[in-house]
Structure 1
Amino acid sequence: MKRKAPDVPDTSDHMRVAPDAPAHAATPSDSPSATALTRLNVSVMSMFKAALAKDPTADLQSLFERYATEYPGRRAKALTRSSRPPKGQQPPPSGNDCQSSSSIDGPPPQSVPALPSFSSTAFRDPNKPRLSSVQRRILNLSDGPYAVAREFDAELISLLKLDSGAGTTLSDDVVKRLSTILCDAEVLGSQPHGRFVLRLSQVSVVKIGNNLEPAEAEILDFVRTSVPDVPVPVCQGILSNGRISLMFLSAIPGQCLSSLWPQLSHDEKKQVQQQLGGVMQRIRHIPTAVTELGWCGYAKDCRRNTRKITGTASEQDFNDNLIRPLLPTINGSYRDLIRSKLRDCHRIVFTHADLHPRNIIVQRCIGGDGAGKAELRLAGIVDWELAGWYPEYWEYVKALNTLPAHCNDADVALADWWRYLPAEIAAGYDAEWALDQILERVLAE
């Protein structure tokens, strides 16, 4: 039986203005300001009601945190807009002809600075990349229809101004609104294979691209349930037209490790190494209860292209499939030599499989030693679409994909990343890495 959502308490008694309150604390109920503030408050309360309607036991902390930061700015903006004269009407003149009330009553009260909300250009950093023409064409969302591939959470319902009972296909008006929001968002960065990430607000980002892996949402749920203390994003919803997908995710405050790495000291890099080691140890100790390697029936081998591998009930099957692309091009003896060196007896552990510094989020914070020294804290790990169950060496091998033999400037900045990979994933797998490099070279021929 579906549980009835609890009623939201009536807070009107607590919000009434006391008789002796200052005159400016109250707003006439029929004024434009009152209308704007009423709409704001109804919108805010609808978010809590929507969350409780979906799950009466929901944890509302994220909503409280969001509105604790956004509400003052949105209220100030509502007051500012409602105080503007109607279109075509001139504001009262300034100077000796008409003194403003602020000049009579004293200096004006300090306004609360408006904080950026969804789609605000206030998030845009002029030093960050802008949308390319190809990306803008994608964000027009004209190649629909777009359908909801994963149910939206309360954040997205608020962003798109949807009814909580909206169907699986978005209306034209909602698609246009979403396109405007996306085109106004900040570009956080581009990923391989033409994918890119935008920040919509302080609490939401979206990953966009062809053939995004829908299983990533399930993987995030699995990791968060299995090791709750490992910081990963929450999937807020997915849209797809069958080719292009938009995966909405909760934002993790902080900076990508790749942007900070070149400036970090040895001690700071060791801090990251130690924390990352602890996180990876907990992930690798998730109990294994699968019958096939990879995730949901297939494994992935990401090199120049991402290849899906099916039929991997054991590491032996997995290794047989790793060398399968060699069949048409390499003589049998050399292929058999490579296969003979691939061991079939590794432990199978849960693996991120793309432990690149761009997928690690860190924050600077004051240390707990009382000296006030800033320390780096591992805030989160993102981009889990390649994750799954793999041989224990796989994490190390794939983490070293950040060190190609022929480097560009970005690669040089990360040239010592391998030195700080934690022992929890690196110790004892040098032979496996060397063999994988041979496999990489042969596959490229």
Structure 2
Amino acid sequence: MVSNDSAADISGVLRREATAYPRLVDELAAAFGSASNEETSNGDTHPSVATGLLDLPSPSYVPEDLAAALNQVIRGGKILFQLHHTFVISIGPSHVVKVALSLDPDHVDNTQYLATHVPELPIPHCLGVLRSGQRTYLFMSRASGTTLESVWPELSTTQKISVQEQLNSLFRLLRTQAADDSESDVRLGSFVSGLCKDIRRAHRISSGTLHTEAEFNDFILQHPNKTVTPWVKMIRCSMKDDHRIVRTHGDLHPRNTMVNLKTHESPPMQGEVIQTEMKVIRVSSIIDWEAAGWYPESWEFVKAVSMIDTRGPLSDWIEFLPYDAIGYFPMEFSIDRLLDQWLG
């Protein structure tokens, strides 16, 4: 536990998620009831990741035989994602576990908030949170399909437009309700913690709750090792403080969009004999909501564009962002780029 960082303190999450253990146990026991405590027959294990993963301290919630079964399926599971000491491992067709040395509680809180307030939004659902030693385990439902990032280079223009239209619908749904700036209790940042963050720049997190866009812009300009110069003050004067405050994902990127590709047989047109086949692409889920919250309406655009690699396989992603839903804010993006030169 990091005592001086409120955003890193997951004690509240663990206490709340204790009520989810029975559901977690029931679902995983049903899915993996036949698993044994033996190694997988094909030897496909991940000892550096999974050995001793679930030395669970609460046998009243998770019986020893279920803990052994969980250890088994995690060892034999497929690593779907890996970054530094964070792993996402499949534990069957319908579940995954995210294993990390630290867990951002906003990941859990934001998904639960959205499941309650925007239930139509396709997102993974949290089943429970367990801690063993220094590791934290977030059990979630598994989004179907593959990441948009992995298939993007092979998609046709028609398929990319289809993805754009679907994302427009989903982000319009996300933004259905906007915060009312006339209310005294309006706060920016994560839906539950109320803390603002910029995960692009050394994972900066606000020290307290911010209530206006002006306060948010001041937060964006902060750097622990730098003094605000007249040049930076000039940039601050050009930043707008009157955007609408809307629900925001905060990390709109093809790696956080899950899609399914299915073959569709189109009926022949009059006079045609041979049927043609095409792949229909469907957005199945939006994942990774730890950076989400109430933010200025321009923030989604600025964050999404700033993370595009202009020379890689996703270089044309900028042409297919869901602009109808998230808007178009080139001036705000340009100012953000100027700030990058100072913030580093």
What is the TM-score with the length of structure 2 in the denominator? 0.77
CA deviation after TM superposition for structure 1 residue 276, in Å: 0.4
Confirm whether residue 293 of structure 1 aligns to residue 184 of structure 2. no
**What is the aligned partner in structure 2 of residue 82 from structure 1?**
none
2:179 is paired with a residue whose SS is coil
**What is the aligned partner in structure 1 of residue 79 from structure 2?**
187
Which 5+ residue runs of structure 1 have no aligned equivalent?
1-50, 55-59, 79-115, 148-165
Q: Which amino acid in structure 1 is aligned with residue 337 of structure 2?
A: Q
Confirm whether residue 384 of structure 1 aligns to residue 278 of structure 2. no
1:325 is paired with a residue whose SS is coil
Q: How big is each residue's C-alpha offset from its partner over 1:250-290, in whole Å with a ceiling of 9 and x where there is no partner?
A: 01211111110000000100000000011001101234376
- Larger RCO (CA within 8 A; separation ≥ 6): 2
Q: How big is each residue's C-alpha offset from its partner over 1:164-215, in whole Å with a ceiling of 9 and x where there is no partner?
A: xx536x6776555433322211011124x53221110001011111221223
CA deviation after TM superposition for structure 1 residue 335, in Å: 2.0
Return the index of the structure with the highest Cα Rg: 1
Give the distance between the partners of 2:266 and 2:36, measured in 1 at CA.
Answer: 36
**What is the aligned partner in structure 1 of residue 304 from structure 2?**
399
Q: Which amino acid in structure 1 is aligned with residue 319 of structure 2?
A: R
Match of 1:276 among 159, 167, 175: 167
Give the distance between the partners of 2:284 and 2:186, measured in 1 at CA.
Answer: 32
Q: Which amino acid in structure 2 is aligned with residue 140 of structure 1?
A: T
**What is the aligned partner in structure 1 of residue 262 from structure 2?**
365
CA deviation after TM superposition for structure 1 residue 143, in Å: 9.6
CA 1:325/1:143 → structure 2, altered by over 3 Å: closer, same or farther? farther
CA deviation after TM superposition for structure 1 residue 311, in Å: 3.0
1:324 is paired with a residue whose SS is coil
Confirm whether residue 336 of structure 1 aligns to residue 233 of structure 2. yes
Give the distance between the partners of 1:311 and 1:226, measured in 2 at CA.
Answer: 21
**What is the aligned partner in structure 1 of residue 222 from structure 2?**
324
CA deviation after TM superposition for structure 1 residue 366, in Å: 5.3
Structure richer in helix, relative to its length: 1
8 A Cα contact 1:277 1:422, kept in partner: yes
Within 5 Å, give how 1:31-430 maps onto structure 2. Answer: 131=46, 136-141=47-52, 167=60, 175-191=67-83, 194-241=85-132, 243-288=134-179, 291-295=186-190, 296-309=193-206, 310-325=208-223, 328-330=225-227, 332-365=229-262, 373-404=278-309, 412-430=312-330
CA 1:331/1:378 → structure 2, altered by over 3 Å: closer, same or farther? closer
8 A Cα contact 1:121 1:186, kept in partner: no
Query: Among the aligned pairs, what percent are the same residue?
Result: 30
8 A Cα contact 2:40 2:72, kept in partner: no
Q: Which amino acid in structure 2 is aligned with residue 347 of structure 1?
A: R
2:111 is paired with a residue whose SS is helix
8 A Cα contact 2:250 2:299, kept in partner: yes
CA 1:223/1:117 → structure 2, altered by over 3 Å: closer, same or farther? farther
CA deviation after TM superposition for structure 1 residue 119, in Å: 11
CA deviation after TM superposition for structure 1 residue 435, in Å: 1.0
Give the distance between the partners of 1:123 and 1:268, measured in 2 at CA.
Answer: 38
Which 5+ residue runs of structure 2 have no aligned equivalent?
1-19, 269-276
Count matched residues: 307
8 A Cα contact 1:118 1:200, kept in partner: no
Match of 1:431 among 331, 334, 339: 331
CA deviation after TM superposition for structure 1 residue 348, in Å: 0.4
Q: How big is each residue's C-alpha offset from its partner over 1:11-58, in whole Å with a ceiling of 9 and x where there is no partner?
A: xxxxxxxxxxxxxxxxxxxxxxxxxxxxxxxxxxxxxxxx9x97xxxx
Give the distance between the partners of 1:249 and 1:435, measured in 2 at CA.
Answer: 38
CA deviation after TM superposition for structure 1 residue 239, in Å: 1.0
Give the distance between the partners of 2:215 and 2:317, measured in 1 at CA.
Answer: 32
